[in-house]
Amino acid sequence: MDKELLFDEILKEKAGNEQMVLPEDVNNIIKETIDNLPEKRKAKVEVINMFNNMCNIVFTEKLAGALTVTVFILILIGIPIVANYYTKTADTKHQGNNAVVENQNNNITINKGLKALNSPDKIFVYYKENKIEIDKNDSNFAKIVELTKERVNVKLDEAKDEVDDKTIVDMHKDGIGIEFIYDNEQEIFTEGQGKDKRLKFYKLYFQLESEKNANSQGSIVNCMQYGDKEHYIDSSRGPLKYSEALVKIAQDIVSENARQWPNYKDEFSIFIKKTNKPPMSTGRSDNVENNELWIRYSSGKEELLVACRADDNIEKIIAGIHSPQITPDRTKIYFLSGAYMVSDIVYVYDLKTKSVRYVCVGNYLEIIQKGQYEGKLIVNQHRYRSAPDYGSYDHYYILDEDGNEIKDLGEKIQNLD
């Protein structure tokens, strides 16, 4: 009898008498892997059935080792593929109604969790009832859109009832705001107060700064208003994130355009700001304050005008800025700087040219606001007598804008009228 044929017959008989199952540790690994799959019912049932069918196959002792290796390969390759397939299928079905949708009218539905708005066709900046249109080619247009997108959240609850056109006009009078205008109707998907809602609109208004309410949490600056083609409607939606960068852009736009407005008033104030810079050494002292001169516009924008500086030329040293004065025409700012041992220096800053220059020495400074000498300076100066009297004295003088003497007032300031 053929030996190979005899061996096959013996093997068949042994397989019939000794039915083998997978080792217990292999079964445990399979069970644990299946239990940790995502809870996608269909995927889990089919994977479990697949492995049950595999595990019910009868094997001989001789093939158990090879089967163990095969099962591990299936676990490493087969299960992730199957699980990933059903997970993606389920997620796709789950997302079906919430995906971003664009139609021929360029309308948009915002997916839950997605903070986005279409770029508007027009942007206006408002301040004190004045209106500025931002050109689409202006770099500020894109910046405003992107910064506004960052503020908008899908969870927008009702914040203020009975919003109408009068509400928006009142906001225009109360600080800085921006408006988005769309040619086509827009739609955003929001979720708030436990319910979903789609807001349809042609325009949005955002109050960025409020003189009445400041920037307090829950105030109008934390909300947006929306309207149809003709009117603002319904109630405010919020809260929105406060954006300092967006406010600054709007302030700069207002400052650049304000002089063109018929009701323009050049309203600003000046102030001295302390710094953390080390003290300066001058002829006056080794501990002169290293501070700065700033301007604050009525829009809220602040700007550095003059910072202290060291120089080999004493007439260019600026240190310990104090006593700033604004000229009657509000085009220049005069101030004192500690430089010499017995005298300060008078400097002037030109708001139009944005430059600073030396005027004269002086220990007192006042700008005459009205009358015969309007716009001229009153300065106290420490002077020295010539021979044969010699010695020094301190008098008040009326000087012109460049520091040239007009009149000696003596040791006391007289009535100039």
How confident is the model at residue 122, as a pLDDT?
96
Mean pLDDT for 217-229 is 81
**Tally of structural domains, the chain:** 3
In a domain, 103, yes or no: no
Q: Which residue has the tokens 């400074």?
A: 365
Model pLDDT, residue 90: 41
18 three-state secondary structure: coil
Mean residue pLDDT across the chain: 76
pLDDT digit string, tens, across residues 344-355: 999 999 998 999
In-domain check, residue 415: no
Sheet of 130-134: strand order equals 130-134, 122-127, 176-192, 195-207, 224-227, 232-238, 157-158
Query: What is the pLDDT confidence band of residue 386, given thresholds at 50, 70 and 90?
Result: confident
Averaged pLDDT, 21-31 = 60
Give the closest residue to 176 by CA, choosing from 120, 227, 126, 215. Answer: 126
Residues 181, 201: Cα–Cα separation, whole Å:
9
Distance, in Å, from the CA atom of 249 to the CA atom of 41, rounded to the nearest integer, reads 53
How far, in Å, CA of 180 to CA of 277, rounded?
Answer: 43
Residue with tokens 């800053």: 349
137 plus 236 within the same structural domain? yes
- pLDDT given for residue 71 in this prediction: 53
Q: Do 254 and 324 belong to one domain?
A: no
Q: Which two tokens stand for residue 193?
A: 């107060």
Residue 100 falls within a domain, yes or no?
Answer: no
Average pLDDT over residues 289-310: 90
219 is written with which tokens? 């105030």
Listed in sequence order, the residues at least 6 apart from 277 whose beta carbon sits closer than 8 Å to its beta carbon are 290, 308
* Same domain? 294 vs 193: no
- Does 127 have pLDDT greater than 80? yes
**Residue 282 banded pLDDT, cuts 50, 70, 90:** confident
**Residue 51 pLDDT more than 50?**
no
Residue range 145-204, pLDDT digits in tens: 999 988 876 677 776 667 889 889 888 888 899 999 999 999 887 766 556 677 889 999
Half-sphere exposure of 65 (CA within 13 A, CB side): 1
Range of the domain at 155: 108-260
Interior/surface letters 45-69, b for 16+ CB within 10 angstroms, e for the rest:
eebeeebeeeeeeebeeeeeeebee
Shared-domain flag, residues 112 and 256: yes
pLDDT reading at 117 higher than 70? yes
Position 98 in a domain: no
Instruction: Check residue 80 and give its pLDDT.
Output: 52
- Tokens (6 digits) for 40: 């996608």
Same domain, 180 and 304: no
Same domain, yes or no: 306 and 279: yes
Pick from 126, 129, 124: which is nearest to 263 by CA? 129
Instruction: Return the axis-axis angle of helices 41-55 and 24-35, rounded to nearest 10°.
Output: 170
CA distance 400 to 372: 12
> Does a structural domain hold residue 417?
no
Statement to judge: residues 222 and 296 lie in one domain? no
Mean pLDDT of 346-371: 93
Q: Can you give the pLDDT at residue 161?
A: 67
Q: Which of 252, 257, 311 is nearest to 281 (CA)?
A: 311
In this structure, are 114 and 255 located in the same domain? yes
Tally helices (H) and strands (E) across the chain: 7, 20
Q: Would you say residue 416 lies in a domain? A: no
* Mean pLDDT, range 80-96, rounded to an integer: 44
Q: Which of 209, 231, 260 is the last residue of a domain?
A: 260
pTM for the whole structure? 0.46
CB 110 within 8 A of CB 99: no
| Residue at a domain's end among 93, 126, 145 | 93
256 and 308 in a common domain: no
- Do 277 and 392 belong together in one domain? yes
CA 322 to chain CA centroid, nearest Å: 34
- The residue out of 232, 260, 288 marking a domain boundary is 260
- Shared-domain flag, residues 279 and 313: yes
Asked, for residue 101, whether it belongs to a domain, the answer is: no
Q: What pLDDT, on the 0 to 100 scale, is given for residue 255?
A: 80
What are 54-69's pLDDT values in tens digits? Answer: 544 444 444 445 555 5
116 and 58 housed in the same domain:
no
Residue 239's CB is within 10 A of a number of other CB atoms, namely 19
Classify residue 99: in a domain, yes or no. Answer: no
